[in-house]
Amino acid sequence: MKKRQFKTESQKLLDMMINSIYTHKEIFLRELISNASDALDKLYFRSLTESDIKISRSELAINISADRDRRMLVISDNGCGMSEEELESNLGTIAKSGSFDFKRDNDQGEEVDVIGQFGVGFYSAFMVAEKITVKTRAYGSKVASIWESEGADGYRIGECEKEDFGTEITLHLKSDTEDENYSDFLDEYRLRTLVKKYSDYIRYPIKMAVTKFRKVEGGEEYEHYSEVETLNSMIPLWKKNRSEVGEDEYNRFYNEKYFDHEPPLRIITQRSEGTATYNALLFIPARAPYNYYTQDYERGLELYSSGVMIMECCKDLLPDYFGFVKGIVDSADLSLNISREMLQHDRQLKVIARAIEKKIKNELVSLMESDREKYEKFFDEFGIQLKYGVYSDYGVHKEMLQELLIFKSSLEHKYLSLKQYVEGMKEDQEAIYYACGERIDKIEMLPKVEAIKSRGYEILYLTDDVDEFALRVLENYDGKEFKNVNDEATSVESEDEKAAIDETNEKSKDMLDLMKDAVGSVSAVRFTKSLGKRAVCLTTEGEISAEMEKVLSRMPGAEGNLPKASIVMEINLDHPIAERLVSLYASDTEKLKKYAKLLYAQGRLISGMSIDDPASLCELIEELMI
């Protein structure tokens, strides 16, 4: 055999390859199987155009065999094989890809769908092997060649005996170390699992002799025997037409793959040709996984390139707000990339991600329109995620996501989309009203809610922390502004009524200021009319509402300079208490101050806020009771 050095840059590359490119050693098997599959494709492709190649597709296969005693793993195929020159040029130069050249020269249609493009996959086998022997015979050639290498030092190449055409790759596995049990790759079960994991959808059978047990005839004992089995299932479900696959089959696939015992809420399939060619099979789970709202949850889609799994959880394919979607994307366009970092910058991947995002959105809109009950179930599980989506990234996704939002409303407490709300708005209604609270029944106790409802306006009830933040980012919908009913500036009075109230406030300024000073923590005390039956109500003015202050104060690390809501205490002019306050101002200002404190405490309770100093409040009540 002739002894050769790798080309210099190849040496460096090989070293890098072995040590850093792949994070998991186990992917060497995927790479070798993909190469074998490419070789089978090439031969099959030629058989379609060259009449002297007589081979039927059904004969083409990949074989795996493991020899525990000699620590050898053999992967063979009856594909195109290589001549000595090809062997030299393909395996003697790292990053030289015969597959790429082949694709370039023959790319005229469907049939050429080879996986390899980078010319490094083969060398990944050096992560587990101390020596690799390749025997190969090109189809139609009488001579076979051998290539042998122990890694970076170089390789030997020469002639050899090989009965059939095709390629046989023998890995002499490294010795086991404390960290790595290379013998694992000789284990039948492990090999089967790896084939299932990475190469299940390779279109040719991957065969291996597996050990089985049977009862000895006429006896009670068992004996083992060997039987060749096809390990891969070959046809990916996502490559089949939706109409060919029953819902049951999709559901079973989903249940097995994602360990969910419930069927998915929605199955989404997408085939795309054009700027990006890919198939996607996606699922929306019926229920959020137990760890969905934690750091542990791994969002992403499984990424395949021509039936070969290249990444288990590709984050770049899914935006955060659709993180609940599970599934698979398979694209022949994707370069079987060598690292995650490179994949991230892949233009094709970005095109696919955008198309998938649009598809998911459209599916959700159609679910909302066609099966409202199901959509609401979905929203109960994942709606928060969509609302965070509106709020996050400074609102850049809000246009897209706003159609998907639904909120419970004052009318029948049923979910409404923003579109539905606007359609149901009264003629004289200018804004979209919302009120925040922990629960609907608590929100309904808010004086302002009662007042606005009495005008016949509907109110959106916001009970999730993120809700108000999301609406603030939206600012308006269909030209209608969002208004918190508890915002001081939200009023439903007519201009005349407003003018009258302003006048009263002006006249009572000294009294109101006295009350304000007595309370201490409000920015103003004012008379108002829109409080329904209630005597008092705390509203806020400015950017931060009381609810937002509450949410912000609960965030980790919130102590210190938190933005505070600026609270206004509103007193109902139509309530008998108003008159009482005015008369106290004339007769007993000390008592008026106490009343002010009491009203403030009442306002806090009604808005679901706590009382800072309950003991003093109780004393005050007792004092006023005697």
- Is 92 a residue that touches ligand ADP (CB under 6 A)? no
468-507: contacts with ligand ADP (CB under 6 A): none
- Using an 8 Å Cβ cutoff, are 318 and 301 in contact? yes
Q: Looking at the DSSP assignment, which residues form a beta bridge with residue 496?
A: none
Contact 595, 581 (CB under 8 A): yes
Interface with ligand ADP (CB under 6 A), residue from 6, 14, 116, 584: 116
Is 97 a residue that touches ligand ADP (CB under 6 A)?
yes
Assign residue 73 a region (left: φ > 0; alpha: ψ between -120 and 50; beta: otherwise).
Answer: beta
- Altogether, the residues listed in the chain come to a count of 626
| Bridge pairing between strands 2-4 and 155-160 | antiparallel
Please pick, from the candidates 13, 14, 29, 36, the single residue that binds ligand ADP as defined by CB under 6 A: 36
Closest CB 81 distance from ligand ADP, rounded Å: 6
CA dist., res. 314 & res. 193, Å (int) = 21
Nearer to ligand ADP, 90 or 270 (CB): 90
587's CB contacts (< 8 A; 6+ apart) are none
- Window 54-83: residues binding ligand ADP (CB under 6 A): 77, 79-82
- In angstroms, the Cα distances linking 407 to 24, 413, 440 are 46, 9, 11
* Minimum CB distance to ligand ADP smaller for 6 or for 434: 6
* 98 interacts with ligand ADP by CB under 6 A: yes
Taking CB under 6 A as the binding criterion, the range among 92-100, 180-188, 495-503, 552-560 that sits at the site for ligand ADP is 92-100
Q: Counting contacts by CB under 6 A, is residue 157 touching ligand ADP?
A: no
The verdict on 278 binding ligand ADP (CB under 6 A) reads no
Select from 29-37, 205-213, 282-290, 472-480 the region that touches ligand ADP (CB under 6 A): 29-37
Task: Choose among 291, 296, 287: nearest CA to 265.
Answer: 287
Say which DSSP state 174 is in: P
What 8-state DSSP symbol labels residue 175?
A: P
d(CA 561, CA 115): 57
Of the candidate residues 61, 73, 120, 265, the single one contacting ligand ADP (CB under 6 A): 120
117 counts as binding ligand ADP under rule CB under 6 A: yes
Beginning with the edge strand found earlier in the chain, give each strand of the sheet holding 536-541 in spatial order: 524-528, 566-572, 536-541
- Report the C-alpha gap between 263 and 561 in whole angstroms: 48
Alpha-carbon separation of residue 283 from 72, 254, 266, 325, 361 (angstroms): 41, 8, 6, 6, 13
CA distances from 210 to 34, 66, 346 (A): 21, 10, 40
Binding mask 375-404 for ligand ADP (x = CB under 6 A): ------------------------------
| 110, 139 Cβ separation under 8 angstroms | no
Sign of CA dihedral 459, 460, 465, 467: negative
Q: Is 307 in the site for ligand ADP (CB under 6 A)?
A: no
Inter-residue contact 465 to 385 (CB < 8 Å): no
Q: Which is nearer to ligand ADP, 81 or 383 (CB)?
A: 81
Contact pattern for ligand ADP over residues 181 through 220, marking x by CB under 6 A: ----------------------------------------
Q: Which of 10, 28, 73, 119 binds ligand ADP (CB under 6 A)?
A: 119
Binding segment toward ligand ADP, per CB under 6 A, in 111-119, 223-231, 283-291, 349-357:
111-119
Asked if residue 35 binds ligand ADP (CB under 6 A), the reply is: yes
Site size for ligand ADP, by CB under 6 A?
24
CB of 156 to ligand ADP, least distance (A): 17
Min dist CB 110 to ligand ADP, Å, is 20
Query: Which span sits near ligand ADP by CB under 6 A: 98-106, 185-193, 207-215, 327-335?
Result: 98-106
CB of 99 to ligand ADP, least distance (A): 4
Residue that the structure tokens 């106290």 belong to: 584
Work out how close the CB of 385 gets to ligand ADP at its nearest, in angstroms, rounded to a whole number.
38
List interacting residues with ligand ADP (CB under 6 A): 31, 35-36, 39, 77, 79-82, 90-91, 97-100, 116-123, 167
